[in-house]
């Protein structure tokens, strides 16, 4: 057996090398501490409280920011150098109240050599600094090296720092943990390493925001799944009363970019998230989805029990929020979202609000068919663009002809059935033995005219 060899993968070899270096570093640090306690016991406190040396040397900047290992080894040869403060000055735009315009103003930023190298993925440079005595959890400038490594998605540096004893739950000056800063899809491995090292998944930062809130708001499905596997609680609320589901729906940025947040919302709902949980302003996840114009996300919430009628603190229903979103998304087709809300029990909007979708004839048709009689309202007529009226003259003319006129018996029958089914209209229509054309008509299919 002694003559046999075992194959090691590159990751296994790297882990063994890190473990060996860590043990050697621990031995040297313990020996140094014993030596100091024997030779200089009276000066130890003075050394610990001595201010750090501040550096603005361009040679130091170039070595650290470029990852030049030879220069780093030459410049940082002791503990004092490894723990110096690196100070940078850059010009940034700032508003001048006295002059009344934006001006370039110098801004000073302080950081540490280890933080710089960890943020840029210079693992060899970071290892050298650690072996020279760089403080792993020093928060020069507000963040520790582990914060920067996670924020910049540098898993090798995260692994290195954790191997040498960096605290997985180290707090920034704002109270954020490294897990809160895993905000990019590429940072998933960083999050895994932190959790394996004991990071507290439910630890809240400023505003009672957890890592789950952050990942949900950014649409990071893989991060959300990882946190849920490690015990993340979906019911935790921020200081504003927002759950992670609220954050996911609020983070969606329009009809064409919501699929990531929809996937996150599905994960959270499957884990038991409450689709009706509203924040302090009574703004529910459905309000957020409708305000962003995310029809598929809104339908997902409705299928899981979200209330289509509930008003928020300003008295706006989800349908009101969807109408307001129309103005911000001119290329959107909102009729699907409007129909879904009405099928799940939303009440027709007040006639004066129809002007918000006057230039969306298909959406306007859906809303007009929610009334037993087309209401009289000049506001939406005046809002229609002349070129759009010409293009869809058949629809707009039919709508005008039916103002305050009796609707067909077929439409009145549809209204009666929908009123009977209430918020169960869409589910019931799928189960009733109806021809597809009749089912579509019941669910406010767009026909291009009002009769």
Question: CA–CA separation, 42 vs 46, rounded Å?
Answer: 8
> pLDDT tens for residues 359-388?
999 999 999 999 999 998 888 899 999 999
Last residue of a domain, one of 127, 147, 171: 171
Name which residue leads in pLDDT, 42 or 9.
9
Place of tokens 């699929």: 259
Q: What confidence category does residue 445 fall into, taking pLDDT thresholds of 50, 70 and 90?
A: very high
Q: Tell me, yes or no, whether 145 lies in a domain.
A: yes
What is the model's pLDDT at position 26?
59
What range does the domain containing 67 cover? 12-30+51-95+103-171
| Rounded percentage of the chain residues whose pLDDT exceeds 90 | 72
Q: Tell me, yes or no, whether 143 lies in a domain.
A: yes
- What average pLDDT does the segment 69-82 reach? 94
Judged by average pLDDT, the poorest of 57-61, 63-67, 282-286, 326-330 is: 326-330
Q: Tell me, yes or no, whether 162 lies in a domain.
A: yes
Q: Are 203 and 174 in contact (CB under 8 A)?
A: no
Q: Tell me, yes or no, whether 351 lies in a domain.
A: no
Question: CA–CA separation, 332 vs 337, rounded Å?
Answer: 11
Split into its structural domains, the chain has a count of: 2
Q: Are 104 and 91 in contact (CB under 8 A)?
A: yes
Output the pTM of the full model. Answer: 0.83
pLDDT, mean over the chain: 87
Q: Are 409 and 443 in contact (CB under 8 A)?
A: no
The conformational region for residue 281 under phi > 0 = left, psi -120 to 50 = alpha, else beta, is alpha
Last residue of a domain, one of 148, 171, 194: 171
Q: What confidence category does residue 422 fall into, taking pLDDT thresholds of 50, 70 and 90?
A: very high
Q: Tell me, yes or no, whether 263 lies in a domain.
A: no
Give the tokens for residue 17.
């090398």
What is the model's pLDDT at position 9?
52
Helix, strand or coil, per DSSP, at residue 267: helix
- What average pLDDT does the segment 397-411 reach? 92
> pLDDT tens for residues 11-30?
555 555 555 555 565 555 55
Q: Tell me, yes or no, whether 275 lies in a domain.
A: no
What is the model's pLDDT at position 444?
94
Does 5 have pLDDT greater than 60? no
Sign of the torsion formed by the C-alpha atoms of 44, 46, 49 and 55: negative
What is the model's pLDDT at position 30?
56
Q: Which phi and psi angles does 358 have, rounded to 5°?
A: -60, -30
Does 353 have pLDDT greater than 70? yes
Strand ranges for 97-219 from DSSP E: 101-111
- What average pLDDT does the segment 432-447 reach? 92
Q: Tell me, yes or no, whether 324 lies in a domain.
A: no
How large is the C-alpha radius of gyration of the chain? 31
What is the model's pLDDT at position 14?
55
Q: What confidence category does residue 122 fall into, taking pLDDT thresholds of 50, 70 and 90?
A: very high
Q: Can you give the CATH number for the domain in which 63 is found?
A: 1.25.40.20
Q: Residue 295 burial (CB < 10 Å; 0-12/13-18/19+)?
A: buried
Q: Are 202 and 231 in contact (CB under 8 A)?
A: yes
Does 334 have pLDDT greater than 70? yes
Q: Tell me, yes or no, whether 398 lies in a domain.
A: yes
Last residue of a domain, one of 171, 192, 222: 171
Instruction: Give me the numbers of helices (H) and strands (E) for the chain, helices first please.
Output: 25, 3
Nearest to 243 by CA among 199, 212, 222: 212
Does 257 have pLDDT greater than 80? no
Place of tokens 């950081």: 111
């Amino acid at each position: 057996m002694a003559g046999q060899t075992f194959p090691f993968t590159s990751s296994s070899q790297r882990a063994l090398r890190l473990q060996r270096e860590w043990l050697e570093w621990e031995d040297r640090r313990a020996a140094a501490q014993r030596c100091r306690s024997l030779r200089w016991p009276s000066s130890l406190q003075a050394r610990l409280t001595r201010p750090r040396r501040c550096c603005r040397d361009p040679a130091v900047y170039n070595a650290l920011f470029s990852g030049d290992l030879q220069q780093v080894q030459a410049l940082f040869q002791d503990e004092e150098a490894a723990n110096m403060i690196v100070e940078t000055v850059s010009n940034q735009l700032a508003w001048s109240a006295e002059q009344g315009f934006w001006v370039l103003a110098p801004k000073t930023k302080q950081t540490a050599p280890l933080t710089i190298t960890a943020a840029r993925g210079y693992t060899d440079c970071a290892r050298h600094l650690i072996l020279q005595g760089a403080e792993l959890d020093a928060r020069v400038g507000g963040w520790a090296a582990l914060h920067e490594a996670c924020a910049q998605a540098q898993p090798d540096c995260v692994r290195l720092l954790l191997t040498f004893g960096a605290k997985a739950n180290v707090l920034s000056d704002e109270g954020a943990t490294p897990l809160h800063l895993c905000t990019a899809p590429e940072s998933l491995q960083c999050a895994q390493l932190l959790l394996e090292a004991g990071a507290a998944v439910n630890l809240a930062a400023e505003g009672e925001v957890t890592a789950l809130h952050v990942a949900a708001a950014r649409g990071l499905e893989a991060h959300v799944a990882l946190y849920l596997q490690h015990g993340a609680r979906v019911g935790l609320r921020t200081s504003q009363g927002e759950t992670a589901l609220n954050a996911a729906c609020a983070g969606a940025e329009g009809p064409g970019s919501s699929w990531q947040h929809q996937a996150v919302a599905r994960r959270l709902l499957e884990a038991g998230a409450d689709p009706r949980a509203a924040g302090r302003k009574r703004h529910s996840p459905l309000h957020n989805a409708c305000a962003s114009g995310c029809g598929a996300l809104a339908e997902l919430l409705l299928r899981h029990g979200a209330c289509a009628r509930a008003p928020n603190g300003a008295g706006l229903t989800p349908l009101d929020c969807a109408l307001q979103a129309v103005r911000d998304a001119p290329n959107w087709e909102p009729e699907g979202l409007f129909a879904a809300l009405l099928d799940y029990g939303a009440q027709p909007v007040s006639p004066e609000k129809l002007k918000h979708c006057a230039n969306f004839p298909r959406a306007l048709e859906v809303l007009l068919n929610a009334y037993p009689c087309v209401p009289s309202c000049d506001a939406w007529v005046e809002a229609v663009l002349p070129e759009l009226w010409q293009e869809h003259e058949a629809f707009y003319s039919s709508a005008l002809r039916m103002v305050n006129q009796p609707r067909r018996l077929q439409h009145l029958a549809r209204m009666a059935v929908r009123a009977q089914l209430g918020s169960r209209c869409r589910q019931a229509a799928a189960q009733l033995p109806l021809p597809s054309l009749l089912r579509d008509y019941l669910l406010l299919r767009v026909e291009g005219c009002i009769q």
